[in-house]
Structure 1
Amino acid sequence: MHVDSDRLLRTVAERMRLRTDELVAQQLAALRRVRSYDRVPDDDLLRSCHRNVARVVATLEQHDALPGHIEEDERISGQRRALQGVPSEDVVGAYRTVLALLRDAFIEEATAVGADATSVLAGTRRLWDLTDRYSDVLVTARQQVDIDAARRDERNRMALLQRLLAGGVEPAELVEGGAVHAVLPEREYWVIRGRPRPGALHQLARHIEARGPGRPLVAPTDEDVAGIVAGRPGPLDDAVIAVAGPVPLADVPRAFAEATRVLTVALRYGRVGVVDRSSLSVRVAVEQQIDLGELLYRRYVAELEPTRSGRELLATVRDHLHLRRSVKATAKALSVHENTVRYRLERYQQLTGSDLADTDTLVEVWWALEYAGIRDTRSAT
C-alpha cells in the first residue's frame, strides 16, 4: 500500500508540474489582492510562484532538489520582501494563501486519478509540513533583516553623535537627516558624560535615554556613557553623571569638553549623582591647576603627611574648614574635646607658618588640602 501511495503522489506531482503556468497565474492573482504586495514587481512574484509549484512537486515526490533555473529560496525572498516594505504578517499570510491554493490543486488532481484517502492524506500532510517549515524560514529571514536594519540605524546614530560631539556636523545635514534620528536643530540639549559602577554601563545608558522628549543620542564609550538628551537626567545609584547645558547644537562640542572635565574632577573626588560645573565649583580649577596645587601642597601639607600626628592635624584642619570653622562641630565629628580641636589648629599653624584667620591663607590651605585629596588619584592615572 505504501509503494502504491508513493506512486500515486508522483503521478499527481507530474500532473501539477504540467499545470505550472496555470498555477503560477492563480498564485499571482491571489498575491495581487494583498495591498502591500503592490510594491513587489511582477517578475519578482513570478519567480516566487514558480518556486512554490516546484517546491510542492518536489515535496510530493519526496526529494529536495529543485530545477536549476530556480535560484532563490524562501530565505532570500523573505529578506527581499522586508526591504520592499511588505509587513511580516502579510508575507506569512500570503505564503499560506498560495500554499493553500496549491494544496487544493493537489486534492483536485489526486481525485482525478482516483487516489485513495490514505494517499490524499499522506500528500496533504507533506504539504502542511512544507507550509509550516517555510513559513518559519520567512519569519526568521524577516527578523534578520529587522535586526540588520536596527544595527545599521544604531551605527548611523552613533556616527552622528560622535560627529556632533566633535563638531563635525554641518547645519544642512541636520535639516536633511536630523529628523531621522530625532535631532532637531532648533532644540537645545543637555550634553552628558557619565560613568557607572562596573558592569552597569548599559543600565546607565538606558537611564539617560529615558530623559526628556524625543529620541536621545546616547552611546557607551569604553567605561563611560556619552550623549545628548533633551532633558536633564536624574541621579542613578552608584553612578556619576556629568552634565553641561542646555546648549544649542552648535555649542555641543564645547559643552562636551566641559562635561568631560567635570566628570574627571567628580571621579577624583569620588562624587556620585548628577554633577555640573557649578556643583563642583572651584574644585574644577583645583584639578586643572597642577603647578599651583603642588606649590600649596608642599607649603601646607607635604611635611605633615608622613607622620600619624601630622595626618591627625591635617584631618582636623580639613574637617574644621568643611564644617564652617565651627570648633564645636569639628570636635563632635572627630569625637574629641573642643580644646583638643583648638590645640591641633594652633599646632598646625605653628608647623606650617600659616594664619587661619587670614582669608588669603585660609583659601590657600583649603586649596592645598583639596589638591592633596586628589593628588594620589592623579599620579595613579
Structure 2
Amino acid sequence: MVPMPDASGSLLVTTAQRLRQRTDDLVERQLSALRTLRSYDRVPDDDLRRSCRRNVARVVAVLERRDQLPSEIEEDERASGQRRALQGIPSEDVVEAYRRVLSVLRDAFIEEAVAAGADPWAVLTGARQLWDLTDRFSSVLVSARQQVEIDAARRDERHRMAFLHRILTGGVDPAELVEGGAIHGILPDREYWVLRCRQRPDGVQRLIRQLESAGIGAGFRPLITMFDDDVVGISAIRPVPYDDAVIAVAGPVTLTGVPQAFAEATRVLNVAVRYRRTGVVDSSSLSVRAAVEQQGELGEQLFRRYITRLSGRSGSASAEILETVQSYLRERRSVAAVARALSIHENTVRYRLERYQTITGADLADTDALVEVWWALEYASIRPTGPGA
C-alpha cells in the first residue's frame, strides 16, 4: 500500500463516509453493470443486492484503513464466490463481474474525492488501493470457486466408487442399475471388462491412472477404485500390461454379469499371484493351473508321490533331476531341446530322466503319469511352506 500524508489520509476517510451515504445509489449502479452479464440472470436480485452492499462496505473499509467488514455484513467474498459456483456461474464471469462492480465504485470514489477538493496525490493513492482490492479479492473469488468444484468432484467421485463397489459385489437391483448406470455413463446393453489388479504399494496410483487413461473408449470413462488393497474396475477396453502389476480380467459381460465376472477375476488374481505371474491374465491364460491351485488335497498327494520321494537324495542331485524333468515337459519331451536349454549333454538328460522314473515309479511315456507329474510340479511351485503350512 502506498504511504499517504496525514491530510490525504483524512481526505480518503471523508470520501469513504460520503460513499457510505450513497450506498443505495451505488448498489443500483452495480446491479446495472452486473445485469449486462447474461449468466447473472440466474442470480436472484436480493442475492446480488446483498453482494453489492458488501462491495460498498469493502471499499469504505479499505479507504478507512480497516481490514474487517462491518458486523452487519452477512458474507465475505469467499462465501459469495462459493455461492456463485453453486449457482453455475462460470469463473471467468465471476471475475469479470467483480471487476465491473469495483470499477463502478472506483469511479464513484474519484467523483467524490474530486468534489471534496482532494489533491491528485490523494486521488491516485485511493485509486491504487481500489485496484489492489480488485486484484486481491478476484483471486479470493476464484479460490473459493475452485474449492467448491474440488469438493463437488470429490463427492461425485465418491458416488462413482460407491456405485462401482455395489455393482461388483451384486448389491444393486436392476432398476437402480439402469438409473445409476445412466448417471455414470454405463450402458445396460453394452459389454465391459471387469478387472482386479495387484501392484506394489508405491505403484498403485500410477496403475490407476494408467488404467483410467488407457481404458477410455466410445465416450466411457473407466470406473477404477481400490477394493481390499487391490485395484478393481470396469472398462470398455481390455487392459494392457503395465509395469510389473498383475491384472486379472474377466469378460466382456453386460452389467448384470459383472458380479460373476468380478468373482472370476478375483479367483484368477489369486492364482496368478501364487504363480508369481505379471501382466494381463485371465482364466484361459492360466488354463488348468487354476484347478491346481484350487485342488490342494490332490496336489499334496501327487507332491508326496512324485517329489517327496526324491528328498532322501542329496539336495543338489534332487534339484538337478527335478529341473531336468520340468524342462523335459516344457520342451515337449525333446531330449535335444532339454540339453540345449540346460547346457548339458543329451546322455545326462536321459540319465536324470531314468533316475527320476526309477525313484518315483513314474512312467514318463504314459500320458496319465505325465499329467500327474506335471500337476505335482505345478503344485510344488505354489505349495505353502513354513510353520503351519
Q: How does 1:126-165 map to 2 (within 5 A)?
A: 126-165=129-168
Question: Is residue 191–residue 229 contact of structure 1 (8 Å, CA) maintained in 2?
Answer: yes
How far apart, CA to CA, are the structure 2 residues paired with 1:268 and 1:377?
12
* Counterpart residue number, 1:353: 361
1:283 aligns with 2:300: no
Aligned AA for 1:167?
G
2:233 partner SS: strand
Question: Percent identical across equivalent pairs?
Answer: 68
TM-score by length of 2: 0.94
Question: Is residue 250–residue 262 contact of structure 2 (8 Å, CA) maintained in 1?
Answer: yes
2:81 to 69, 78, 83: 78
Aligned AA for 1:317?
V
Q: How does 1:241-260 map to 2 (within 5 A)?
A: 241-260=247-266
Q: Cα distance, 1:223 vs. partner?
A: 4.1
Shift in alpha-carbon separation, 1:88–1:228, aligned structure 2, 3 A: same
1:315 aligns with 2:318: no
- Render the CA deviation track for 1:219-275: whole Å, top value 9, x for unaligned: 133542110000111112312211100001111011011111111111111212211
How far apart, CA to CA, are the structure 2 residues paired with 1:24 and 1:255?
62
Question: Is residue 194–residue 239 contact of structure 1 (8 Å, CA) maintained in 2?
Answer: yes
Q: Cα distance, 1:354 vs. partner?
A: 1.2
How far apart, CA to CA, are the structure 2 residues paired with 1:262 and 1:88?
48
How far apart, CA to CA, are the structure 1 residues paired with 2:234 and 2:156?
17
Question: Is residue 201–residue 220 contact of structure 1 (8 Å, CA) maintained in 2?
Answer: no
Q: Which portions of structure 1, spanning 4 or more consecutive aligned residues, are displaced by more than 6 angstroms? A: 377-381
Question: Is residue 198–residue 246 contact of structure 2 (8 Å, CA) maintained in 1?
Answer: yes
The unaligned stretches of length 5 or more in structure 1 are none
Cα RMSD of the aligned pairs, angstroms, is 1.6
Q: Cα distance, 1:353 vs. partner?
A: 1.2
How far apart, CA to CA, are the structure 2 residues paired with 1:204 and 1:40?
43
Question: Is residue 163–residue 180 contact of structure 2 (8 Å, CA) maintained in 1?
Answer: no
* Counterpart residue number, 1:66: 69
Q: How does 1:11-22 map to 2 (within 5 A)?
A: 11-22=14-25
Q: Cα distance, 1:303 vs. partner?
A: 2.9
Shift in alpha-carbon separation, 1:360–1:148, aligned structure 2, 3 A: same
Question: Is residue 171–residue 185 contact of structure 1 (8 Å, CA) maintained in 2?
Answer: no
* Counterpart residue number, 2:125: 122
Q: Cα distance, 1:178 vs. partner?
A: 2.0
2:279 to 268, 273, 278: 273
Q: How does 1:102-113 map to 2 (within 5 A)?
A: 102-113=105-116
When structure 1 is superposed on structure 2, of 50-59 and 221-230 the one drifting more is: 221-230
The unaligned stretches of length 5 or more in structure 2 are none
Q: How many residues align?
A: 381
- Render the CA deviation track for 1:288-337: whole Å, top value 9, x for unaligned: 11111111111111232572211211111111001111111111111111
- Render the CA deviation track for 1:145-204: whole Å, top value 9, x for unaligned: 111111111111110110010011122223333232111111110001112344211221
How far apart, CA to CA, are the structure 2 residues paired with 1:346 and 1:356?
9
Q: Cα distance, 1:106 vs. partner?
A: 0.3
